[in-house]
Amino acid sequence: WIPLPATFEDYLAARSSKFRNHARRAERKLRACGRLDVREVTGADAFDEGYEALLRIERASWKEAHRTSINADVKQAALYREWGRTATVAGHLHLQLLLLDGEPIAHNLGCIHRDTYYYLKTSYAAAHRPQSPATFLRLRLIERMIARGIRSIDFCGTPYEWERQWTDQHRWHHVLSLYTDTWRGRILAGLDRRTHYSSSGDAVEHEDPRTQRPSE
């Protein structure tokens, strides 16, 4: 969870010098590769095209091999598409795309409600990992949210290792999970309860997203 300061410069000043140096190197590497364009999709007229670009990035990401990309499940891809169309009508959708010479290479998908940006999905094309496109685009996201007067960014869900470089703050969430009334749904519900309630104490455990699902 990132409580956003008044200016983007204030946010950078609060990060470590190592982080700031990494961000500068990432931007130089990316700009040396070609023309960069950060595109923001919030309206219904541009959503379908933007969502197709997001799916292209997901297919080109490391998540595809691990079966954790949006494309890995047809129903999941359809769910996010329908949710996105609905969210644009309500004025909550925020989809950000990074294009390199016109080719989409990274995305951030989120929902803005009141004064908080809820981070739902993010990914980048694996071929561009050496240029750190996700770092570049996430900085543009933070910069944009501060400019819009958004007060915080909530990463939601499981706390991942990569999030620690962006903030040292966290807050607890209530999780609502819905399952179908089938034998498979009942098994998953039982496993879910063990996942959320078997651990004790208040320590936050950070996970590597690449270990969350086997690749084979």
Helix (H) or strand (E) holding 216: none
Can you give the pLDDT at residue 197? 60
Per-residue pLDDT of the chain (216 residues; tens, 9 = 90+): 999 999 999 999 999 999 999 999 999 999 999 999 999 999 999 999 999 999 999 999 999 888 889 988 899 999 999 999 999 999 999 999 999 999 999 999 999 999 999 999 999 999 999 999 999 999 999 999 999 999 999 998 778 888 889 998 988 888 788 899 999 999 988 888 776 664 545 666 776 766 665 544
Can you give the pLDDT at residue 202? 60
Per-residue exposure over 139-170, b if at least 16 CB sit within 10 Å of its own CB, e if not: bbbbbbbbeeebebbbbeeeeeeebeebbeee
pTM of the shown model: 0.85
Can you give the pLDDT at residue 173? 81
Can you give the pLDDT at residue 196? 64
Task: Label the pairing between strands 152-154 and 36-41.
Answer: unpaired
Can you give the pLDDT at residue 88? 95
What does the alpha-carbon distance between residue 89 and residue 29 come to, in Å, rounded to a whole number?
37
Can you give the pLDDT at residue 11? 97
Can you give the pLDDT at residue 175? 76
